[in-house]
């Protein structure tokens, strides 16, 4: 069973990291901020965060 508080802790940390790292890349290549805030990017960021949070919880549980 997944501990919800641990999952949310990892999820939000990873989500913030993914969003800010992509924002920095977008600014480095001087793209428009509107391109950064599209639905595709936000949905992919959430999916990556969910996958990584579940992976971290599985690794933590196995230790």
Tell me the domain boundaries of the chain: 4-62
Q: What is the pLDDT of residue 32?
A: 64
Q: Cα(36)–Cα(60) distance, rounded to whole angstroms?
A: 32
Q: What is the pLDDT of residue 40?
A: 72
Residues 48/10, Cβ–Cβ less than 8 Å: no
Which of residues 31 and 5 earns the better pLDDT score?
5
User: What is the distance in angstroms between the CA of the first residue and the CA of the last residue of the chain?
Assistant: 16
Side-chain-side CA neighbours of residue 7 (13 Å) = 8
Q: Cα(26)–Cα(42) distance, rounded to whole angstroms?
A: 14
* pLDDT tens by residue, 10-62: 888 888 888 787 777 777 776 666 666 666 777 777 888 888 888 887 877 77
Q: Cα(52)–Cα(11) distance, rounded to whole angstroms?
A: 8
């Amino acid at each position: 069973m997944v501990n919800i508080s641990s999952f949310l802790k990892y999820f939000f940390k990873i989500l913030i990291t993914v969003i800010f790292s992509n924002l920095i890349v977008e600014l480095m290549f001087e793209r428009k901020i509107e391109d950064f805030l599209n639905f595709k990017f936000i949905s992919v960021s959430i999916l990556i965060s969910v996958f990584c949070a579940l992976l971290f919880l599985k690794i933590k549980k196995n230790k």
